[in-house]
Amino acid sequence: MTRNVVIGFLGTQLDGGLSPARWEKWRPTVSLVQHDDMVVDRVELIHSSQHTALAELLARDMASVSPETEVRLHVMDVANPWDFGEVYAALYDWARAYAFDTGGERYWAHITTGTHVGQICMFLMVESRFIPGVLLQTSPPRRQRQGDPGSYTLIDLDLSRYDALAQRFNQAHTEAQDFLKSGIATRNASFNALIDEIERVAVRSRAPILLTGPTGAGKSHLARRMFELKQSRHQVSGAFVEVNCATLRGDGAASTLFGHRKGAFTGAVADRPGLLRNADGGVLFLDEIGELGLDEQAMLLKAVEDKRFRPMGGDKEVSSDFQLIAGTHRDLRQDVQAGRFREDLFARINLWSYTLPGLARRPEDIEPTLDYLLALAVAEGGRSVRFHAEARQRYLQFAKSTQAPWSGNFRDLTASVTRLVTLAEGGRISLALVEAEIQRLQWFWAREPVAQDEQAVDLDALLPDPLRAGLDLFDRLQLEAVVRLCRQSSSLSDAGRRLFDQSRTQRTVVNDADRLRKYLLKHGLSWDRVTGR
């Protein structure tokens, strides 16, 4: 027979009373053993040493109404029973040390007694299965009558109706991620993992966050969305204040950020609070933080660490409590090495650092992003515009190929969609229009100063699935270099000649192109795939 065991805190108020009159009132812990339809074999009663006398009295009272119930007393002393951390730690230690026998016993965690903090901790123990059981809630009888034990409810958190509650939390989580992605159904696994973590950090942390990535990758957009997400969760009281540090120059920079007192310099005709003050209680987004001067960097570090700083020309410090989000397209690590960026500030903002990948690095997201931008352009323009089927296919084929670097990322794609929508005749984007747009984009990108040999080779996007995982770093590095050289070469033969220019002189039969073709094939690649030609 499975035995029923109740675990609970002694209720110093509800279970209290030493005089005979105590039998006239409802006492939750005693009521546990007074129900005819519920057999309690054992009660584990947790109490502080201060209440030992009361606990012993309760044990005797329970023995008198239910002799078959064993009552065990456990002393648990915490300095402050209202301190969540202390109570949780004490109960956790207790549960870890307790010899649960889930084969022979059933555990009911009584949550009607104890401080609220104790009750919450009891709930958490059950929810996390450190106490492997269900919750037990007791309530007084409607009308107090001696000997009436009132009622009780068992709450099994594993039951599906509580699952539904958990699902609601999960749904909120998914909605927050969708919100950060503007509802674009992105498919790139690493990008989605990135957003998932950013969502958790955004709602849980007030520490500085660093967003890096190429221009147009969405750093500014994401920073504002993070703020809006915090706002929807009541986590900020202040404003979202944004400034691009590249626009701050000279004396004006410090004054714009930290404010100034009237008369601090010629032209300072009135006090100015500065952006840091404006962001009090909110979020300060410093875009292109790499452009900030070294002096301003030092002041910013102090402001972030102490939440205090001195305005220009002021003799008193002012305070501002803001969360810093910094954006940059630069490699700050390199800037630190070159002495252009303070190492201590970098260390401070590098705790949560995220690199947003450019569009070309997540080709599978181009289609959903295209649909999103198309819907947006249509909503703004007020007329319905759609692709012809083959026009859409052609556009996507180009957009996802290595021919399209999307160096301006979101901006480039937005501009491209705007052109297509504006030029579409009769609400249809035709193949001819797409071809013209592709030429325009190619012309545009050909003028970009990005050197081919600096362009990143994204092997993950290139390699077929099964081969991607099994590749050693050694092969990966070699393959990257080969792919880069292919892209710089005019033809397969040209690339072959350059790659094998030593060994070819020592052989009688020369077919460098074939050798290169076989090498690529070994990695599941072809010349066309590598070069996008």
Ligand X SMILES: Nc1ncnc2c1ncn2[C@@H]1O[C@H](COP(=O)(O)OP(=O)(O)O)[C@@H](O)[C@H]1O
* Interface positions with ligand X (CB under 6 A): 181-182, 184, 213, 215-221, 327, 410-411, 414
Q: Smallest distance, Å, CB 365 to ligand X?
A: 10
The CA-based diameter of the chain, rounded to the nearest angstrom, is 113
Q: Smallest distance, Å, CB 289 to ligand X?
A: 12
Q: Which does 181 bind (CB under 5 to 8 A by kind): ligand X, Mg ion, none?
A: ligand X
Q: Smallest distance, Å, CB 217 to ligand X?
A: 4
Q: Which of these ranges, 69-77, 269-277, 281-289, 366-374, lies near Mg ion under the rule CB under 5 A?
A: 281-289
Q: Smallest distance, Å, CB 348 to ligand X?
A: 21
Q: How far apart are CA 26 and CA 501, in angstroms?
A: 95
Q: Which is nearer to Mg ion, 219 or 260 (CB)?
A: 219
Q: Smallest distance, Å, CB 404 to ligand X?
A: 17
Q: How far apart are CA 143 and CA 199, in angstroms?
A: 50
What is the DSSP code (8-state) at residue 356? P
Q: Which residue is nearest to ligand X (CB)?
A: 218
Q: Which is nearer to ligand X, 273 or 357 (CB)?
A: 357
Q: Which does 6 bind (CB under 5 to 8 A by kind): ligand X, Mg ion, none?
A: none
Q: How far apart are CA 288 and CA 140, in angstroms?
A: 63
Q: Does 414 bind Mg ion (CB under 5 A)?
A: no
Helix (H) or strand (E) holding 6: strand 3-9
Q: Which is nearer to ligand X, 342 or 362 (CB)?
A: 362
- 252 three-class SS: helix
- Provide the pairing of β-strand 323-328 with 318-319: unpaired
Q: Which does 28 bind (CB under 5 to 8 A by kind): Mg ion, ligand X, none?
A: none
Task: For 272-333, give the DSSP string.
Answer: B--HHHHTTTSEEEEETGGGS-HHHHHHHHHHHHHSEE--BT-SS-EE---EEEEEESS-HH
Q: Which does 498 bind (CB under 5 to 8 A by kind): ligand X, Mg ion, none?
A: none
Q: How far apart are CA 132 and CA 134, in angstroms?
A: 7
Helix (H) or strand (E) holding 171: helix 160-180
Q: Smallest distance, Å, CB 421 to ligand X?
A: 16
Select from 134, 137, 132, 133 the least CA-distant residue to 150.
137
Contact yes or no for 326/349 (Cβ under 8 A): yes
Q: Which does 182 bind (CB under 5 to 8 A by kind): ligand X, Mg ion, none?
A: ligand X
Q: Which residue is nearest to Mg ion (CB)?
A: 220
| Both structure tokens of 401 | 């190929």
Q: Smallest distance, Å, CB 128 to ligand X?
A: 35
Other C-beta atoms within 10 Å of 461: how many? 15
What is the DSSP code (8-state) at residue 236? -
Residue with structure tokens 């190619």?
Answer: 442
Q: Which does 192 bind (CB under 5 to 8 A by kind): Mg ion, ligand X, none?
A: none
- 358 three-class SS: coil
Q: Which is nearer to ligand X, 227 or 410 (CB)?
A: 410
| Both structure tokens of 19 | 């005089």
Q: Which does 38 bind (CB under 5 to 8 A by kind): Mg ion, ligand X, none?
A: none
Q: Smallest distance, Å, CB 213 to ligand X?
A: 6
In the range 287-306, which residues lie near Mg ion by CB under 5 A? 287
In the range 212-231, which residues lie near Mg ion by CB under 5 A? 219-220
| Both structure tokens of 374 | 């198309």
Q: Which is nearer to Mg ion, 219 or 400 (CB)?
A: 219
Q: Which is nearer to ligand X, 275 or 463 (CB)?
A: 275
Q: Which does 217 bind (CB under 5 to 8 A by kind): Mg ion, ligand X, none?
A: ligand X
Q: Which does 261 bind (CB under 5 to 8 A by kind): Mg ion, ligand X, none?
A: none
Q: Smallest distance, Å, CB 439 to Mg ion?
A: 29
Q: Which is nearer to ligand X, 35 or 329 (CB)?
A: 329
Q: Which is nearer to Mg ion, 48 or 215 (CB)?
A: 215
The amino acid occupying position 473 is L
Q: How far apart are the first and last CA of the chain?
A: 76
Residue with structure tokens 């969760």?
Answer: 233
Bridge partners of 107, per DSSP, are 5
Site string for Mg ion, 160-199 (x = CB under 5 A): ----------------------------------------
Helix (H) or strand (E) holding 414: helix 410-423
Torsion-angle region of residue 503: left (phi > 0), alpha (psi -120 to 50) or beta? alpha
Number of residues engaging Mg ion in binding (CB under 5 A):
3
Q: Smallest distance, Å, CB 220 to Mg ion?
A: 3
| Cα four-point dihedral sign 15, 18, 19, 20 | positive
Q: How far apart are CA 455 and CA 462, in angstroms?
A: 14
Q: Which is nearer to Mg ion, 280 or 291 (CB)?
A: 291
Q: Which is nearer to ligand X, 354 or 445 (CB)?
A: 354
Q: Smallest distance, Å, CB 264 to ligand X?
A: 32
Q: Which is nearer to Mg ion, 226 or 495 (CB)?
A: 226
Contacts with Mg ion, residue ranges (CB under 5 A)? 219-220, 287
